[in-house]
Every structure is written in structure tokens, then in C-alpha cells.
Structure 1
């Protein structure tokens, strides 16, 4: 009996020791946050196959429904975290804003954007903060955007005349073509003023188009750093550098002409021009900012403004017109509002009456909810290992915020897939990025600094489209049959360009002269 009791006692002690050990292990392991869940990773390529699609925001939304609003993807050799809810976006963009205030470095940015000296991809630090201040206080301030009103007026009236000419010939209007041309002209004149001749401006736009198309190409080294040499062998680096040199040559000519014009005006005692390039050169010469600014910095900044001020605006208007064609009652209501406001006013005064178009502005908000210009925003870089949503996010991870998925989530939006501008009638949602269920321009320190510039052009283009024309689909196409398929590159575009028939409204087109 004594032996059995001793055996039982020792067994109980041993069991207790094992239990304590297991509890300690559990406590220790639970205190170490685990990596976010995500789809299965294949050897070497990780989850890359999921992203080999033109509809990445849709694929990522569907994966998040299974794995959660904080999702891990290993794309090649690089960790990515995908954020798909308002609460998690707030954790990244507001609560941990400093930790996610930087950008990953990509090959196209290093070469085309002059070593990431631009606003969008400059790493977070004193230099970027200086650029941001320069944009908000000087280049893209509300006052500066108002100064560009004559440019918007002139170029959008040119757009109206171009559409009217197509109508007279009985031809459908290729909306993406005419919209891109208009937004390019607005941005070019705002950036360079009259110093840039139409021929030189066209050279710049052509070079920029090539730069953007190459920048959107797949660079192996961006996702497989150990295979950096593939971009050399494939010729990608060579093509990027050739495009960079072409852009650089045009920039040098434009800057030289601008400097010459500035000198002549200064000698004659005249005030300097107000275009963006002249302002940057003046600030550079006067040394008003803490970092020395050379021509390379100037080129990077202007290039960035073009990328942000052209394709995003034209693409957004195309999506808005697509939704209006699918919703004729909304179109009719918007046209009635615009025509009440613009009738008996001079064309040059139209922009002053935009404030009288609350319903049209609701349409813009609703379209940007469903079709944000950058559906995954621009990637953020995690600077230090931290915790998001209870999961560990390692330093060096790239973070994608799926603004497209959040904007269509039934958790925040009733009838999320329906185009209903009236949902904004009593809403206080705006474009400032403080409401994380609505992020068309991002949020936090790295949100788009040029949103006011883009919106001013977008609203005037749309208002004049609604005022001067009645629109219809080509024969045989019903509104509910309009293809709304998208492809995602730099922006979210329609897969098939929108072609519409424009019928002039009963207003004299001579008044546009």
C-alpha cells in the first residue's frame, strides 16, 4: 500500500508539472501574435497566381471574405498585407500612421521618378514632409486651384466644341480619348503655362504615356529581389532608362524656356507667371525650403503632378457617365439641375455655379465610392514590426488597402452594388479621408495632395457634359446591357471604352467662342 501511494503521489506531481509546462507554453505562444491568415502559398511564387488578373481588387475582396479583413499574401519573395475593412484601414492609416507613412521602392519609380524624388513614392522623412508642405501651401492649395479656373474654363469649352463637331458628323464620341486629351491639356497649361508650345507639350505627353505604360509593367525584381538581374536580361531596365532620357530631354527644354521667360519678365519689371513650374523655380532660386532643390527635384515633382492630374480625372468622368447611362432617371434629374443653374448665365461663369449643383456632386461621390481611381491606393510600407487587428505585421511588409472592396461592402453601405446618389443627401462623408468606409483619395499622411485640383476639373467637365448634350447609347444597346467590366492598372478603367451619341441641347454653341 505504501508503494502504491508513493507511486500515485509521484504520478500526480509529474502530471501537475506537465500541466504547468503546457500552460506556460500556451501562455507564451498566445503572447506572441501570429501572422495574419491568408491563402496557401506555393513554393517560391507564394500566392502570386491570385494576382495574375486584371481584377485584383475583386479577387482580394473575395479572398478576404474567407480569410478576414487583415490578410497575408506572399507575392514572390515579398510579404504583403491586404486591408479590407474600415476598422482595419483606420488602424493602418490613422492609429499607426507614422509606421505606415513610407512607400516601397520599385524599379520604375527609381528610374522614371528620378530616384523616388517625387511626392508619391518618396520615402517618409524630412524631404517628403517638405514636398508635402510645398504642395499643400503653394502648388495645389485651394487658392492656387482657383487661379487655374480660366484654364479649366477654356479647355472644357474646347472639349464641348470637339464633342459637338463629332455630333454634327453623326459620329459616336469616344469618351476616354476626348477626356484624356482635355485633362492632359488642363494639367499641361497649369504646370507649364504658355511657355510650353503645343508641339513641345505633345512631345512631353507622348513621352509621359510611354513612361506610365512601362511603369505599370511587371518588374521581376520588385517581387523577387534575388532575381534583379532578370530585369537587365529582359531589357526592362534598358527600356525604362531610354524613356527616362526622352522625358529628361523634353523637361530640359521646357525648363530652359521657362527660365528664359522668367528672366525677360523680371528684366521688364513684370510679375512672374503663376504656372506650377514657374512657382517651383522661383522657390528653388529663393531657397525658401530647407532642402536644396535642383532641376532633378523639379522634374520629379512635375512628373508626379501629371500622373495624378490626368488619367485619374478622365477615368473618373468615364465611370460617372457609364453609371448615368445605366440609370436614366438619375441622368434626367442631374441634367435638370445643371440646366436650371446654367441657363441665362455666361459660360465663363459656369464654375462659379457648381456650388448650386448638390445632386450632381452626390453623383460624383457615389461614382467614386463604386469606382475609386486607385482601387488599392498606393502601397504603404511597414517600417517597424507592429500589430494590426491582433496580428503581427513584420517590418518591410507592403500594405495594400482595398478601397474598392470597402466602398462596396454591405457592412457600411445599404444596397452596396446599387448606384444611388441619394445615399449622400444627409451624409457628412467627404473626401478628407476621415471616414474610413469612404477612401477614394486615401487617408492619413500619404493621401492624395491633388484631390482638389482633380475634382475641380472633374466637376466642370461633368457639368458641361450634362448641360450641353443629351446622351444616348449606340443603336441596339440598352442601359442594363452596358458592359461595366474593369481592368486595373495605374487606375481602374473600363475594359471597353465608352462610346456615346451626343445630341446638342437647345443652346447656342456660338456662345462657347
Structure 2
């Protein structure tokens, strides 16, 4: 959610022409103005945008909320924003007024990369979105379907372990970020497409998707200044997004054609069953059988699959990197969790590892604690107010965009003792879970628009982390002390480590028959 100085320049130039009219404000404020949430002073035309010329927007917004309150007004360009920074205010938005805040704003990235809002994440609230949500939870990402992909997780995580082993035997540091992203992407690709998506197609797809995710994490001029939509054209941003969209389309067209051909062959086979179907095949089958009440074309199919990739790759990889960073900063915790994993996995065949994940209670606490401090989407995806209402005693106007600062909520000292301290044991006797019903803990959101793919992502995260801890001992480079390892972030749509984690891996002495 970063705004660069370069982006502000054309806005500032354009503002000169209308600055005089903006300054001619009425001295009498309307009753709705009097009751709007408090917030920092607004500059003419650009409002409070200067506060977000930073790569740490969640931190800045948390600090502003300490001064102005947990329901805070920001005028960003010409658009009203309300920032939510407390569990009580989040509950009002996500539960008490859930329906009123169940839609999404129409953004440039929605129009381009997300196929005009035909995806699950950005589709406006209505019958189409409700159908997609039901399709996702009941068919595409159900608990049964996630279990069905266990063999993919097993194969791809073992492949990652072999890559780490190769780096360790050559004496090279392990660049975890790239290995984790490649592993998460392979798991998602094979679950989504089966075997029809080769490495070259995946690389083309990831390159294009990176453009979209990067743009989605920031502010486009046209999103904040609708009358200045042409600035995104002049700067090339809109053209770049459409170029990425065409590249994604080309990859999807190839994959869908191959999947359709494979499905035709399977119709004559007596050995294939529905249980063997990848997610794309399931969607195409549902589309062909006309089970969905509205017309579904290949564009809809692409939009649905795109969401799965965006939600199942970078967020999973980034979360594991944060977990490993926190473990390296806390050697006692690392020692304790590795003892648990090795006690559980020793003398087990690799293909049986996932069946024993639920026995790793301490590792589960570590994951929860890391997601508290480093939620995958620190500001979530913006909500849009559909009808003027009250939140926290303040009036939120129709059309306002709502930013929920999950990063700040997870570090709220009123909810968490020693909120800035990494202490997994706080979850030992806690009933907090990922369901989004306890508003002090929202790593995957809450309400109608909470992440429908959390089970899919967590299943991959669990096995990736468990195997990294089982197969290797880890140390910092060059004699670095644990307290010297930084946890600085760069927050866009997701919150990455500013300095990627590089570690030295030493293979754990596992009997060879359990390694292969």
C-alpha cells in the first residue's frame, strides 16, 4: 500500500488548476462532517496522502490511530477512507454491519488484472459473488479437496528439501524466499491445473502476476482522483497492467485448451474418477453441466483461478519466511519446536509426515503467533460502505473505503500482553482460531469476505515449515547474533521482509531410508 513521490508529482501538477476552487470551502460544516471520525489534517486536493509515502503504511496508520482513535478518517486524494484499528471497531464493521461493508471498491487493478471484478476477492457483493463463494467453499477449496492434494504437497515440499540440501552441500547460503515462493507456486499450479502447466508457462504467469500484485498493493492515481484517470495512462501504469493481463490470458488460454483436451480423453476412460480432478477440471465440468445459474465463460474461469494463485503463493511463502525469521531470533523456541518435530517424524516415512502434522502442537502455536505479528494481508483488501451508517459513534458515509489494519489489531496492547514480544506460549491455553469470530485475531479476515482459501494455504504452510525444521539445522550468516537479525517489512498488498532471509542449512542426521 505504498505511495511513491513519483506518483504524487503528476497529481500535484494537476492540482494547481483546481486548487483555488478546492480552497473555497463553506465555513459551515454539515452535521455529517461534524460526526465523521477524527483524523489528521488534510492538505488541499491531496488530503492525507503524504502520510502514506512510505513502505510501512500499517505502522504509520497504527501510530496515527494512537492519536486520533481506532476509527480514523483519512481523505486520500478525492476519496474518503476510514481506518479501523481495534477489535471492537473491527467487530462493528465485519459482524454487526457485515452486509453493509460486504462489497469492494472498483480499482484499476480490479478492472485489469482481476478481469473486471469477476474474481472472488474483488467481485462486488451480489448474487454472482455469493455463487462464487459457495463454489469455493463447497467444491474448489473444501476440506475434502484440500486433503485430496496431499500427494502434491508431499512431492513438492520434498523437492524443495532436495534443493535446500543441494545448496547446503555446496556450502552456499540458502536464499529461502525464492525457494519458498517456487514451492508454494508449484503446489498451487499442480492443484489448480494438474500436469498441464509446465515450468515455462508457470514462469510467464508468475512474471505477469507480479506486476498485478505490485500495483494492487499501492495507490493508483485514478483510484484516488477519478477525474485524473488519464494520469495512469500517461505514466504507463494502465498500459503495463493491460500488458500483464494479456500475458496472463495467453497462459490461461493454453492451459484451458490442454485441460479441455485432457477431459475429452478422460470421458472414454473407465479408470479416472472425480477425485483425480484438479481445480480447473472441476470448474470446467461445473460450467459444462450448467450447475451455475448465470452464464460462465472462460473469462470467469480465469478470474477464479487467478485468485487461487494470488492467495496461495506469495502469502504462504512470505508467512513461512517470517516464521523462520522469528525462530532465528529466538533460538530457545527453535530448539523446542525442532525437538517436537523430530520426536514426531523420526522413524516415519516421508509420505506419512502430513498425517502427523496435528501432533505438532507447539509448531501450531508458533504459526499462530507469527500470523498475529505478521498477518499475510496487513491492511486486508479494502471494503466499501454501501450505505451511510455509524461505526464507533461516528458517521461513515456511503462510498467510503474501509481499511482494516490487521497488523495493528494483532499488536494491540489492550488485547495482547507484551504485544511486541514473540511468545508462542500465549496460545497454549487459548481458544483463538482462524475462523474470524474473535476480532483481536484476524490473520485471514472475518465475515462474508474473509479468505475462502485459508485451509488450502495453511495445509501447505504446515508441511513446508515442518520439513524445513525436521531435515535441517539452521544458523545465521557470518556469526550474526540472533538479535541482529532485522524484522523490517515492506508492506504492499502483502508484507514482505525488507531484507530477504539467507541462512546456512546443515542436514539433520536422518536415516537415509526416511529421506527418500
Please indicate the TM-score interval, normalised by the length of the shorter structure.
Answer: over 0.9
Which residue is equivalent to 1:267? Answer: 268
Which residue is equivalent to 2:448? Answer: 445
Q: Which residue of 462, 469, 478 maps to 1:475?
A: 478
Q: Note the alpha carbon deviations across 1:327-384, whole angstroms, 9 max, x for none.
A: 0000000000000100011000000000110000000000000000111111100000
Residue 250 (structure 2) pairs with residue 249 (structure 1): yes
Classify 1:116/1:422 alpha carbon distance in 2 versus 1 (closer, same or farther; 3 Å): same
* Partners of 2:32 and 2:395 within 8 A in 1: no
Q: Which residue of 396, 407, 411 maps to 1:408?
A: 411
Structure 2 CA distance for aligned equivalents of residues 98 and 260 of structure 1: 42
Which residue is equivalent to 2:104? Answer: 103
Classify 1:419/1:382 alpha carbon distance in 2 versus 1 (closer, same or farther; 3 Å): same
Q: Which residue of 428, 431, 437 maps to 2:431?
A: 428
Q: Note the alpha carbon deviations across 1:364-415, whole angstroms, 9 max, x for none.
A: 0000000001111111000000000110000000001111111111100001
> Partner of 2:111: helix, strand, or coil?
helix
Q: How many Å apart are 1:195 and its aligned residue?
A: 2.0
Which residue is equivalent to 1:39? Answer: 40
TM superposition score normalised by structure 1:
0.93
Structure 2 CA distance for aligned equivalents of residues 214 and 94 of structure 1: 29
Q: How many Å apart are 1:216 and its aligned residue?
A: 3.6
> Partner of 2:74: helix, strand, or coil?
strand
Q: How many Å apart are 1:215 and its aligned residue?
A: 3.8
* Of 317-326 and 225-234, the range deviating more from structure 2: 225-234
> Partner of 2:309: helix, strand, or coil?
helix
Q: How many Å apart are 1:31 and its aligned residue?
A: 10
Q: How many Å apart are 1:231 and its aligned residue?
A: 1.2
Residue 191 (structure 2) pairs with residue 194 (structure 1): no
* Partners of 2:49 and 2:76 within 8 A in 1: yes
> Partner of 1:46: helix, strand, or coil?
coil
Structure 1 CA distance for aligned equivalents of residues 202 and 31 of structure 2: 60
Structure 1 CA distance for aligned equivalents of residues 312 and 384 of structure 2: 24
Structure 2 CA distance for aligned equivalents of residues 262 and 212 of structure 1: 31
* Partners of 2:214 and 2:492 within 8 A in 1: no
Q: How many Å apart are 1:201 and its aligned residue?
A: 2.7
* Structure 1: gaps (5+ residues): 1-28
> Partner of 1:471: helix, strand, or coil?
strand
Q: How many Å apart are 1:32 and its aligned residue?
A: 9.1
Structure 1 CA distance for aligned equivalents of residues 515 and 204 of structure 2: 28
> Partner of 2:45: helix, strand, or coil?
coil
Structure 2 CA distance for aligned equivalents of residues 481 and 281 of structure 1: 51
* Partners of 2:42 and 2:48 within 8 A in 1: yes
Structure 1 CA distance for aligned equivalents of residues 219 and 87 of structure 2: 30
Which residue is equivalent to 2:380? Answer: 377
Q: Which residue of 348, 351, 354 maps to 2:351?
A: 348
Q: Which residue of 309, 312, 324 maps to 1:309?
A: 312
TM superposition score normalised by structure 2:
0.92
> Partner of 2:194: helix, strand, or coil?
helix
* Partners of 2:217 and 2:494 within 8 A in 1: no
Structure 1 CA distance for aligned equivalents of residues 308 and 357 of structure 2: 24
Classify 1:443/1:244 alpha carbon distance in 2 versus 1 (closer, same or farther; 3 Å): same
Q: How many Å apart are 1:509 and its aligned residue?
A: 5.1
Instruction: Determine which structure has more spread, i.e. the larger CA radius of gyration.
Output: 1
> Partner of 1:99: helix, strand, or coil?
helix
Residue 438 (structure 2) pairs with residue 455 (structure 1): no
Structure 2 CA distance for aligned equivalents of residues 414 and 271 of structure 1: 51
Which residue is equivalent to 2:209? Answer: 208
Structure 1 CA distance for aligned equivalents of residues 455 and 56 of structure 2: 28
Structure 1 CA distance for aligned equivalents of residues 70 and 213 of structure 2: 31
* Partners of 1:45 and 1:77 within 8 A in 2: yes
Q: How many Å apart are 1:30 and its aligned residue?
A: 8.5
Structure 2 CA distance for aligned equivalents of residues 486 and 209 of structure 1: 18
> Partner of 1:138: helix, strand, or coil?
helix
* Partners of 2:211 and 2:241 within 8 A in 1: no
Which residue is equivalent to 2:15? Answer: none
* Structure 2: gaps (5+ residues): 1-29
Structure 1 CA distance for aligned equivalents of residues 202 and 487 of structure 2: 33
How many correspondences in the alignment?
486
Which residue is equivalent to 1:12? Answer: none
Residue 292 (structure 2) pairs with residue 289 (structure 1): yes
Residue 138 (structure 2) pairs with residue 137 (structure 1): yes
* Partners of 2:379 and 2:493 within 8 A in 1: no
Classify 1:199/1:510 alpha carbon distance in 2 versus 1 (closer, same or farther; 3 Å): farther
Which residue is equivalent to 1:24? Answer: none
Structure 2 CA distance for aligned equivalents of residues 139 and 338 of structure 1: 30
Residue 427 (structure 2) pairs with residue 397 (structure 1): no
> Partner of 1:82: helix, strand, or coil?
strand
* Partners of 1:33 and 1:391 within 8 A in 2: no
Structure 1 CA distance for aligned equivalents of residues 446 and 330 of structure 2: 30
> Partner of 1:387: helix, strand, or coil?
strand
* Of 206-215 and 337-346, the range deviating more from structure 2: 206-215
* Of 260-269 and 64-73, the range deviating more from structure 2: 260-269
> Partner of 2:442: helix, strand, or coil?
coil
Residue 512 (structure 2) pairs with residue 505 (structure 1): no
Classify 1:32/1:221 alpha carbon distance in 2 versus 1 (closer, same or farther; 3 Å): closer
Which residue is equivalent to 1:368? Answer: 371
Residue 363 (structure 2) pairs with residue 357 (structure 1): no
Q: Note the alpha carbon deviations across 1:261-308, whole angstroms, 9 max, x for none.
A: 000110234435411100000000001121221100000000111000
Residue 75 (structure 2) pairs with residue 74 (structure 1): yes
Structure 1 vs Structure 2 CA RMSD: 1.5
Which residue is equivalent to 2:23? Answer: none
* Partners of 2:218 and 2:492 within 8 A in 1: no
